[in-house]
Amino acid sequence: MNHQSQSVAGNWLKPVGVLTGLMLMTSLVIFSPKQAGAQAATVLAPNATIHVNVADEPDDSGDLKLDSNGDIQMLYVNSIHVGGLTIEQARDTITKALSKYIKSPQVVVSLVSQGGIYIEVAGAVTTQGGRVVRSDSHLYDVLSPAEPNVNADLEAVQIEHGEQGQTHTVSTVNFLSYMQNKQATGNPPLQDGDKITVFQKQVAITITMRGAIVKPGPTSLSNSSTVYDAIQAAGGLTPDANRQGIMVQHTNDVTGSAFDFDAAGRSPGDATINPVLRDGDTIVVNALAQAPMITISGGGVLRPAPYPLQPNESLCDAISIAGGPSDGAHMDQCVIVRKDPTGKSQLIKVNAKDISVQANTTLQTGDNIIIPGSAPKPAKDPLTAVSVLTGIASLALRL
């Protein structure tokens, strides 16, 4: 072969060599054991979305989302369970189900999105609330980004299983054992609808109480105590306390945050209304400019007068403070004069003869309780009676 022939042959062999190389590389990609293993390991999880195409059946084709049980809904066959199956297995399962109604169905299935599971995190973590995570997530995958605080009790993390309407179960996990020793039991797989709660370790903190509190001064509490708990532990508020004018001050925080004692009493579990205290916090309860008062008037009580209003004081308490009913009290004619927010007076008729009504009638600042009473009849003077009899006798003698 001459030089020119060799050159031509060489030029002809170059593209053949390139094609051969590409074919070899392609075969390696297609038959890569790593990729084959990855495909085999990919299974459908709850909330995943797949696209199903059934030839010549547009009503049975389209995107379908797996529910929390791993089921999809299709025409003719209703519910088909494909959760935990690979794409190929899901295709075969759908084909088999449709074969009862369609002759030789041609089914193609593809993955649209892997989906995920919904998990809630609460308690001693920096980031609380719900989130959607991968369906193969474990406890570490959720707790780590939620950032448990320094007082979090990681040895007793509570996981509540079960979605709404299902039977709920609770398990307690030693997450610290996974963090320290990689014990698998401390990092269990999560399920759709799980609620994770991280509790605070019970350690002592010191709180300072100031102002209109029964027992002001420093007090020791557990670190899970709320502002409402602390005030109750200190004996409660004094009658002149401004129940809506309470400030909670953290270290190096002069301004502080406002706290409504009555609102916290109604919703003690709401952390936005009744926050958990920190070590070194100070609770300042301001006194009202004027102590709240009520007035009890009328002849129906023994000692009618103005009286300081006690917390949650009832009509029964007020009548007792005023000495109780008088002999001629008309308890069924009791009237409370109360001013509304606009300053207009309103009359509230109360049958105070019923003790249960007394006990369930709560008084407010400025109330005027009027209980009428009959005036006592004047006692007869015996000397006057004798004088009358003497006069009658004298008149008879004259006649």
Residues 327 and 298 in one domain: yes
Strands 117-123 and 195-198: parallel
Cα 146 from chain centroid (whole Å): 18
Instruction: Report pTM.
Output: 0.40
- Is 376 among the domain residues? no
108 CB contacts (<8 Å, ≥6 apart)?
A: 52, 53, 91
Tell which wins on pLDDT, 80 or 388: 80
Q: Can you give the residue range of the structural domain that contains 94?
A: 38-113
Q: For tokens 């980004």, name the residue.
A: 145
The total number of structural domains in the chain stands at 5
pLDDT band at 292 (very low <50, low <70, confident <90, very high): confident
* Domain stops at, among 142, 176, 198: 198
Rounded CA gap, 21 and 27, in Å? 10
Mean pLDDT on 133-143:
91
178 CB contacts (<8 Å, ≥6 apart)?
A: 139, 140, 184, 185, 186, 187
Quote the tokens at residue 24: 């070899």
- Is 382 among the domain residues? no
Q: Which of 223, 144, 127, 224 is nearest to 186 (CA)?
A: 144
As a whole number, the mean pLDDT across the chain is 83
Tell which wins on pLDDT, 253 or 8: 253
Q: For tokens 């920190």, name the residue.
A: 278
Q: Is the pLDDT of residue 194 over 80?
A: yes
Rounded CA gap, 276 and 262, in Å? 16
Q: Is the pLDDT of residue 149 over 80?
A: yes
- Is 257 among the domain residues? yes
* H or E element at residue 100: none
Least confident of 57-61, 328-332, 389-393: 389-393
Portion of the chain with pLDDT greater than 90, in percent? 58
Q: Is the pLDDT of residue 382 over 60?
A: no
Quote the tokens at residue 92: 């075969």
Mean pLDDT on 208-215:
94
Quote the tokens at residue 160: 């509540």
* Domain stops at, among 65, 92, 113: 113
Tell which wins on pLDDT, 392 or 128: 128
